[in-house]
Chains A and B, each alone.
Chain A
């Protein structure tokens, strides 16, 4: 296997890394909510009706102004100011392509340096070059 092929194999692990990152954040956010749930358990038990009343997003946001800094202005009703979210899949695809290009450039530069300074070595380490870790 040439080192080009080896690097290709390494880059093919990217989807797995993406999955791991998604899972890590998903678990972290869920744990974050659970910790809040535990920290507020006693208060919620004291006042279950308040817990139920906060189910509406906008009602919750606009009428109750949750922990908004005191000096912040009152919310306005112009929804046009809200930015349209970029589709996440598209963002991920673009960022991954960019990362892939940067990684290729970086590794190519390293190999170019090695090839200049140690032309005989380049041919010798392509075998057994383990990128699995």
Chain B
């Protein structure tokens, strides 16, 4: 029983470490993704990342005209024949131009992260 307990503890710890490692990778990807669109306004923050193989996330923070902090997170759900965008709980179907830009951004993101993070294990 004690062996099983210890084994379970070690296994759980291992899974936690694995999950944390994946989160670290995604945080680094998000930083890289935020850089592909060029410079930010002072005080701004931008992250763009692949949450999973069907979901892309854009996070933008900036100071509004009145100095108030503005935050917007946009989530793109990629379906076989369309892309749906979610902002503040509102879902809209993504149009052609936005979809093509998103695709170009994703390609650039993929090039950067595969080169900077995953060059040793690159998926073909």
Chain B residues with CB under 8 Å of A82's CB are 35, 39-40
Out of A23, A39, A81, name the residue touching B99 (CB < 8 Å). Answer: A39
Contact of B10 with A71 in the complex, beta carbons under 8 Å: no
A82–B114 alpha-carbon span in the complex (Å):
21
Taking a contact as CB atoms under 8 Å apart, the answer to whether B24 and A28 are in contact is no
Q: How far is the CA of A60 from the CA of B123 in the complex (A)?
A: 26
For the residues of A in contact with B, the DSSP-based class is helix
27 residue pairs A–B, Cβ–Cβ below 8 Å: A17-B14, A17-B17, A21-B18, A22-B117, A22-B121, A26-B117, A26-B123, A30-B114, A36-B102, A40-B100, A50-B100, A51-B104, A54-B100, A58-B38, A64-B101, A66-B98, A67-B74, A67-B105, A68-B60, A69-B60, A71-B70, A76-B40, A85-B116, A88-B116, A95-B20, A106-B13, A107-B13
Point out residues on A near B: beta carbons under 8 Å. Answer: 7, 10, 13-14, 17-40, 43-44, 46-47, 50-51, 54, 57-58, 60-62, 64, 66-69, 71-79, 81-83, 85, 88, 91-92, 95, 99, 103, 106-107, 110, 114, 118, 121, 125, 128-131, 133
